[in-house]
Amino acid sequence: MNAIEIRGLTKTFGDLAALRELSLRVAEGELFGLVGPDGAGKTTTMRLLSAILEPTSGDAWVAGCHIVKEAEPLKEHIGYMSQRFGLYPDLTVIENIHFYADIYGVARRGREERIARLLDFGNLTPFRHRLAGALSGGMKQKLGLACALIHTPKVLLLDEPTSGVDPVSRREFWRILNGLLRERVTIFVSTAYLDEAERFHRMALLHKGELLACGTPDEVKGLMRGTILEIRSADPRQAARTLRTQFPPESVGLFGDRVHLVTEDPEKAAARADAVLRKEGIEPAGIRPIEPGLEDVFVSVLGKERSK
């Protein structure tokens, strides 16, 4: 059974097409990722699926409810956490959770047990009486998640939940999400962090409102054509600039302190790259073929789209 089904979903704002003919399915109990840079259409998709926005065209069903025709009953079955979740800084942790419980109409009977479990789940129990405004970024995200879960939703929609959160808090947040999967909650997450995409059961690459690829992380990596050469040097930025003058610019990417060069002939390209860099006074510290990461795939697929 599909927890989310999207058919040709489109949203325009004047002349701007924020989302174009998006179609995909998310199975019940699946951890699905919507991956792309800023402006890809991730937040628009989340707002459409949570019935905050109405589509220009197309249809979608979440937890069995049509996002337009059944918008009100839909909200009973989903938990939605936006990039800036609406916590009240002048209320305590426990007061914020009770507030959202009242909004969702959570019965008083059994509520305290549910709240206690959520607090324990997110390691928030010691902070239950602390003002939300005094929490760290990671703690605020966990409180936002607790508020989104208070009514036991079937589908959880999380819009870049780890944006701006420190690495330790990010790992803790993912630990909590993995725990929810054991309860058969369907989790639909948007992120700009490609390193997080390895965690998803399946994922969709989105760019400028268009779906570029969809599948498991390994299936998406399979879209990569050619071999990646990893090039190390003391000045990777200058190395990347130099290589772009001698190779197709879309085949050269800067990844931290390494340069990645995509090629169909790795042996010939390695020799040529070495010669080009040495001619410009850049001493390569090493050139070797490596397995592609999802960021390599995204850059490669994006390059193909731009060349059409």
Whole-model pTM: value is: 0.83
What pLDDT does residue 307 have? 53
CA distances, 28 to each of 22, 125, 141 (Å): 19, 30, 24
* DSSP-assigned states of every residue in 168-207: HHHHHHHHHHHHHHTTT-EEEEEES-GGGGGG-SEEEEEE
The domains found in the chain, sorted by start residue, are 2-221 (3.40.50.300), 227-291 (3.30.70.270)
Q: How many CB atoms lie under 10 A from the CB of residue 84?
A: 11
What pLDDT does residue 285 have? 93
Longest dimension (CA), the chain: 76
Per the CB < 8 A criterion, the answer to whether 230 and 288 are in contact is yes
What pLDDT does residue 59 have? 97
Distance CA 213, CA 76 (A): 31
What pLDDT does residue 87 have? 87
Distance CA 66, CA 6 (A): 10
Torsion angle defined by CA atoms of residues 194, 200, 202 and 204, in that order, rounded to the nearest 10 degrees: -30
Per the CB < 8 A criterion, the answer to whether 235 and 277 are in contact is no
- Which residues of the chain are under the pLDDT cut of 70? 85, 302-308
Closest CA to 296 of 229, 201, 202: 229
What pLDDT does residue 308 have? 53
Per the CB < 8 A criterion, the answer to whether 54 and 131 are in contact is no
Distance CA 241, CA 231 (A): 13
**Position 240: which residue type?**
A
Q: Which two tokens stand for residue 88?
A: 């009240």
What pLDDT does residue 86 have? 79
**Position 73: which residue type?**
P
List pLDDT tens digits, range 189-205. 999 888 888 899 999 99
Helix (H) / strand (E) containing 21: strand 16-27
